[in-house]
């Protein structure tokens, strides 16, 4: 990275900083400082200790000035974003809230507990060191197959890459066309099947859909069957397309509906492009939730990807090996360090508190390793080169990928505050999928926006008709109407119109060729990354 040239208005920024500093001193001397509008400094202990309150304001002033200097620096935009991210990491790390000596709330807790909070914090720290990760929730309160991923069903197929779950019907009649869900392979599938009251799978089954779910295998360092050499093409051919074939065979339907979430959606759309290039048309409708197809704008993740980094990953992983779940989780946590790192340093270690039970955060800590060749291919052809939206640039076993051939009806969903898949990028898929019928924007982020059951009556979502040629997403948003509650019923109504007539439900899982292997959730999802 070239050294940044100082901005022309450096003197102005310096002057404004000094003015802000003098204002802080004056307010501190007069006792007029108030608690900042920042959750890190929100407790009454900060207000009760003027010296520490001054430190908090000084930190925020320095942070604001540093950010303004970076914004004004004469730098290419990609370098500016990297510098801004690096500065954010350091500024967040040195916040006075993160240290015993400069956090009055921590000190007050230490006195009130007669030192026991610090002792318990050290115990928490040592336990996390043993686990190799920071605890974000009370993990003792959850167990997959006991109170997570408990929608009844059977594993009806498995190979080296995935198990396929068929869920038992919970209505007297079901729609004729079944639904296959393709979750991201970077995480466990049960983000879509948490607890019964916030399970997307449970909701879909209750609406009368016959649901199949891919449960991706979690590769381990000790595996000897070659899964560490699995490629992107393997995940398409022996993963997604194989699951589609099995679901069609079991249901007896020529076509099924399919839904992909995050990376699962990228895999699904790519697999369908391969199928169409081969003259096959196995899917009746496609739903994509917070999914990248066009990687032109990857948001904050763009700072991690350049030619040198991708070349390093290819040298490290392209011929085999595993991209560890631990490294992936650390990367995503530091995209939002105050919420996902330093918040827990203060509460768990400095104050000795145990994090509350939260199913979503339990899932977040239950990541999966990825085969190295898969990861290296994905990094280059999506984040670096944005190849999927260039017809024919990507081939899978000699078959060209053209998303323009994925011509079944499409439902797109994005989350407004998504920092993983910016909603404008989720919207951009409509440009490449010619039969996109609906785009819905939900409130909140990448996960919380998706997992929003109607019964909780939380959040909201926006809808508007798509133009014939989807262009500026902001124009779509400007005319969109906001609705209270969950987007799930909107999707369910749309899918029902693409699912045919209803028929009597049968309790039989699988068929003569695909016998039940074991009860859901199956073995693959229970295996934790090491």
Encode the chain (530 residues) as per-residue pLDDT tens digits. Answer: 455 555 567 788 888 899 999 999 999 999 889 999 999 999 999 999 999 999 999 999 999 999 999 988 888 888 888 898 999 999 999 999 999 999 999 999 999 999 999 999 999 999 999 988 899 999 999 999 999 999 999 999 999 999 999 999 999 999 999 999 999 999 999 999 999 999 999 999 999 999 999 999 999 999 999 999 999 999 999 999 999 999 999 999 999 999 999 999 999 999 999 999 999 999 999 999 999 999 999 988 888 888 999 999 999 999 999 999 999 888 888 888 998 899 999 999 999 999 999 999 999 999 999 999 999 999 999 999 999 999 999 999 899 999 999 999 999 999 999 999 999 999 999 999 999 999 999 999 999 999 999 999 999 999 999 998 888 999 999 999 999 999 999 999 999 999 999 999 998 999 999 999 999 999 999 999 87
Please tell me the distance from the alpha carbon of residue 307 to that of residue 380, in angstroms, as a whole number.
8
333 in a domain, yes or no?
no
The answer to whether residues 157 and 92 belong to one domain is: no
CATH code of 428's domain: 3.40.50.1820
CA distances, 428 to each of 18, 272, 338, 421, 464 (Å):
44, 18, 30, 11, 15
Decide: residue 98, CB within 10 A, 0-12 exposed, 13-18 middle, 19+ buried: buried
Domain stop point among 111, 143, 170: 111
pTM reported for the whole predicted model: 0.93
Please tell me the distance from the alpha carbon of residue 249 to that of residue 383, in angstroms, as a whole number.
35
Domain stop point among 111, 141, 170: 111
The answer to whether residues 194 and 313 belong to one domain is: yes
Number of domains in the chain: 2
The answer to whether residues 82 and 169 belong to one domain is: no
Please tell me the distance from the alpha carbon of residue 425 to that of residue 448, in angstroms, as a whole number.
18
- Reading the block at residue 31, the tokens are 């006792």
The answer to whether residues 215 and 107 belong to one domain is: no
Strand blocks (E) in 403-526: 410-415, 436-442, 460-463, 481-484, 502-504, 518-519
In this structure, are residues 286 and 177 in contact, taking their beta carbons and an 8 Å threshold? no
Please tell me the distance from the alpha carbon of residue 141 to that of residue 130, in angstroms, as a whole number.
19
Q: Is 185 a catalytic residue?
A: no
Q: Give, for 426, the enclosing helix (H) or strand (E).
A: helix 423-432
100 in a domain, yes or no?
yes
296 in a domain, yes or no?
yes
What would the pLDDT profile of 136-194 be if each residue is shown by its tens digit? 999 999 999 999 999 999 999 999 999 999 999 999 999 999 999 999 999 999 999 99
Domain extent for 48: 10-111
**Helix, coil or strand: residue 403:** helix
In three-state form (DSSP H/G/I as H, E/B as E, the rest C), the secondary structure along 242-307 is: HHHHHHHHHHCCCCEEEEEECHHHHHHHHHHHHHHHCCCCCEEEEEEECCCCCCCCCHHHHHHCCH
What would the pLDDT profile of 194-218 be if each residue is shown by its tens digit? 999 999 999 999 999 999 999 999 9
339 in a domain, yes or no?
no
The answer to whether residues 230 and 300 belong to one domain is: yes
252 in a domain, yes or no?
yes
485 in a domain, yes or no?
yes
Return the pLDDT at 38.
Answer: 93
The answer to whether residues 171 and 231 belong to one domain is: yes
27 in a domain, yes or no?
yes
Given 83, 243, 262, 365, the catalytic residue: 262
* Cα angle: 211, vertex 276, 192; to 5 degrees: 25
Domain stop point among 111, 130, 162: 111
The answer to whether residues 417 and 508 belong to one domain is: yes
The answer to whether residues 166 and 96 belong to one domain is: no
338 in a domain, yes or no?
no
């Amino acid at each position: 990275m070239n050294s940044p040239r100082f901005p022309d208005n450096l003197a102005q920024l310096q002057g404004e900083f000094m003015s802000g500093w003098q204002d802080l001193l004056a307010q501190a001397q007069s006792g007029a400082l108030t608690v900042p509008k920042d959750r890190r400094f929100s407790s009454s202990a900060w207000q009760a200790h003027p010296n520490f309150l001054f430190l908090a304001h000084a930190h925020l002033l320095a942070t604001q000035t540093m950010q303004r200097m970076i914004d004004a620096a004469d730098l290419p935009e990609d370098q500016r974003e990297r510098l801004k991210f690096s500065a954010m990491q350091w500024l967040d790390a040195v916040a006075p809230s993160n240290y015993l000596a400069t956090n009055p709330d921590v000190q007050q807790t230490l006195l009130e507990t007669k030192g026991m909070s610090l002792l318990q914090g050290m115990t928490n720290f040592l336990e996390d060191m043993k686990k190799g990760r920071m605890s974000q929730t009370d993990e003792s309160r959850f167990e997959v197959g006991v109170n997570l991923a408990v929608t009844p069903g059977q594993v009806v197929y498995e190979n080296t890459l995935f198990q396929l779950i068929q869920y038992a019907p919970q209505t007297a009649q079901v729609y004729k066309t079944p639904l296959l869900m393709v979750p991201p392979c970077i995480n466990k599938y049960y983000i879509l099947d948490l607890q019964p009251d916030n399970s997307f799978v449970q909701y879909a089954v209750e609406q009368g859909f016959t649901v199949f779910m891919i449960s991706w295998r979690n590769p381990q360092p000790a595996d000897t069957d070659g899964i560490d050499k699995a490629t992107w093409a393997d995940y398409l051919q022996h993963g997604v397309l194989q699951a589609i074939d099995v679901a069609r065979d079991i249901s007896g339907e020529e076509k099924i509906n399919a839904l992909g979430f995050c990376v699962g959606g990228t895999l699904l759309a790519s697999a369908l492009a391969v199928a169409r290039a081969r003259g096959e048309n196995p899917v009746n409708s496609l739903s994509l939730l917070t999914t990248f197809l066009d990687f032109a704008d990857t948001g904050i993740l763009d700072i991690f990807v350049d030619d040198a980094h991708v070349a390093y990953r290819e040298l490290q992983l392209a011929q085999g090996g595993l991209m560890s779940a631990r490294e992936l989780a650390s990367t995503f946590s530091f995209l939002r360090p105050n919420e996902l790192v330093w918040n827990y340093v203060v509460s768990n270690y400095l104050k000795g508190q145990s994090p509350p039970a939260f199913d979503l955060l339990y899932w977040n800590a239950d990541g999966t390793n990825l085969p190295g060749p898969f990861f290296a291919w994905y990094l280059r052809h999506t984040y670096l080169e944005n190849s999927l939206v260039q017809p024919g640039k990507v081939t899978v076993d000699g078959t060209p990928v053209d998303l323009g051939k994925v011509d079944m009806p499409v439902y797109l969903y994005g989350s407004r505050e998504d920092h993983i898949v910016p909603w404008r990028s989720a919207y951009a898929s409509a440009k490449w999928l010619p039969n996109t019928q609906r785009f819905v924007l939900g409130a909140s982020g990448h996960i919380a926006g998706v997992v929003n059951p109607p019964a909780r009556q939380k959040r909201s979502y926006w809808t508007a008709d798509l133009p014939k040629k989807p262009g500026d997403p902001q124009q779509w948003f400007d005319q969109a109407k906001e609705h209270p509650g969950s987007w799930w019923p909107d999707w369910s109504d749309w899918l029902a119109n693409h699912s045919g007539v209803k028929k009597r439900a049968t309790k039989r899982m699988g068929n003569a060729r695909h016998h039940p292997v074991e009860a859901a959730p199956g073995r693959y999802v229970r295996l934790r990354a090491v």
